[in-house]
Amino acid sequence: MIQVREFTEQDAQSVGSLVKKAVEGLPKETYGQYLSEYYSRNSPKALLDFLQHGAIFVAVEGQSVVGTARLDFIKQKIYGMFVDPSFQGRGVGALLLDAVEKLAAKKGFKQVVLSSTIPAARFYEKRGFKRIDENPANKAFDRIVVSGPVVDMKKGLFSTKN
Ligand SMILES: CC(C)(COP(=O)(O)OP(=O)(O)OC[C@H]1O[C@@H](n2cnc3c(N)ncnc32)[C@H](O)[C@@H]1OP(=O)(O)O)[C@@H](O)C(=O)NCCC(=O)NCCS
């Protein structure tokens, strides 16, 4: 059974390996010249630093990490959504997104934003995200390390704070 829980320090290596595995399943041009920078953003240290201003979720089956997603509390933005290629299309991404949105609503956020790769944008649309704009990567919400175009998206939330 797949379960979603918050990341702990012990998950850092597994999350880094999962991100690599998922990125290797994407077209080469997705990260292009930014690939090594992207991997360093997923190093154990970078993941632990992220926890200073955000939360990371992992989807696990037994001891294995099969998916991950993050919420940045300052930017109110979702990052780093990845599902192991052999687990894609089985609802893991939806479970992770639900966990992230639930936390965002609990923190009182009125909306969350994200910058999606072109193929993943349909996944987010199915989960209620609206397209704001399609941009070259360097014009997205903030400096982003993909080389292809991205779709900036947002979803309104009902705050559950209080
Ligand atoms: C995009 C991704 C996170 C989706 O996770 P997933 O576990 O495969 O998705 P799910 O199985 O939870 O799918 C949920 C719904 O979205 C749909 N969906 C998933 N991927 C889709 C796609 N590429 N196009 C259209 N619909 C898609 C599913 O059919 C499903 O629909 P349903 O609720 O009507 O059954 C995952 O495929 C992935 O990691 N891709 C590679 C990395 C990537 O591109 N990450 C996003 C960076 S922004």
Centre of ligand 1 to C-alpha 88, Å, is: 7
Which of 15, 34, 123 should be mutated for ligand 1, with most atoms under 8 A from CB? Answer: 123
Bridge partners, 61 (sequence order):
2, 64
- For residue 130, give Cα distances in angstroms to 4, 134, 149, 159, 162: 25, 11, 17, 18, 27
Mind listing the pLDDT tens digit for each residue in 107-142?
999 999 998 988 899 999 999 999 988 776 555 555
Structure-token match 């997705």, residue found: 30
Mind listing the pLDDT tens digit for each residue in 22-55?
988 888 777 777 788 888 889 999 999 999 999 9
- What are the boundaries of each domain within the chain? 2-156
Q: Which residue's CA lies nearest to atom 19 of ligand 1?
A: 123
CATH of domain 2-156: 3.40.630.30
